[in-house]
Amino acid sequence: MTNNFTFTIIKPGAVAHEHIGEILTMITRAGFWISAMKYLKLNEEQARYFYSIHQGKPFFEDLIRFMTSGPIVVAILEKEDAVEEYRKLIGNTDPAKAEPGTIRKLFAESIQRNAVHGSDSNENAVKEANFFFSLSERFTKAGKFPI
Ligand code: IDP
Ligand code: MG
């Protein structure tokens, strides 16, 4: 299984507070290559599908409302050990527990409105990337596709 890319979302709260630029700067400064990127708004069906693993949890309905509340940025990020490296860069799900200097420590408003999504495994990175991007929309740092 590939381990050289991950998938991210800049969530509605961080977009609404105009943090897209700062977050993308942190991502690229940390050595990630942006292989693909889109600005869009999720509909309810898409949000429920994307977060289906959390269906039934107490925060699920609120999470769907939040994730469909405004535009988001979705992107595929290329780096060696991307999934693990990106989880380090974003920090803990709960900003109160996130390490200093992480994206969530800097930009999360709450455990729900926590600025960004990052894939939790290579398998999910592949699924999430494929949900939003076709192969012809993806470009490796070396200028080739697909990854
Ligand atoms: P992750 O985004 O760090 O992988 P997950 O456990 O996969 O965290 O949860 C998915 C998303 O659901 C979180 O990023 C956050 O937006 C929301 N969430 C998770 N736990 C809670 C909670 O306890 N209360 C409210 N929202 C939560
Ligand atoms: Mg998760």
CATH number of the structural domain spanning residue 102: 3.30.70.141
Domain of residue 35: give its range: 5-140
93 close to ligand 1 (CB < 6 Angstrom): yes
The ligand 1 atom nearest the CA atom of 53: 7
Q: d(Cα 114, Cα 92) in Å, to the nearest integer?
A: 9
In a domain, 21, yes or no: yes
In a domain, 145, yes or no: no
111 close to ligand 1 (CB < 6 Angstrom): yes
Does 54 participate in catalysis according to the annotation? no
119 alpha carbon to ligand 2 midpoint, in Å? Answer: 6
In a domain, 54, yes or no: yes
H/E stretch holding 24 reads helix 20-29
pLDDT of residue 146: 64
Instruction: Describe the strand order of the beta sheet including 33-40 as a list of residue ranges.
Output: 33-40, 72-78, 5-10, 116-118
Number of domains in the chain: 1
In a domain, 147, yes or no: no
In a domain, 35, yes or no: yes
Amino acid at residue number 63: L
pLDDT of residue 145: 67
pLDDT of residue 3: 85
In a domain, 64, yes or no: yes
In a domain, 146, yes or no: no
69 alpha carbon to ligand 2 midpoint, in Å? Answer: 19
pLDDT of residue 126: 96
In a domain, 89, yes or no: yes
> Which of 103, 114, 120 for mutating ligand 1's site (highest number of atoms within 8 Å of CB)?
114
pLDDT truncated to tens, each residue of the chain (147 aa)? 578 999 999 999 999 999 999 999 999 999 999 999 999 999 999 999 999 999 999 999 999 999 999 999 999 999 999 999 999 999 999 999 999 999 999 999 999 999 999 999 999 999 999 999 999 999 999 887 666
Ligand nearest to the CA of 90: 1
Structure tokens belonging to residue 89: 């860069």
pLDDT of residue 31: 98
121 close to ligand 1 (CB < 6 Angstrom): no
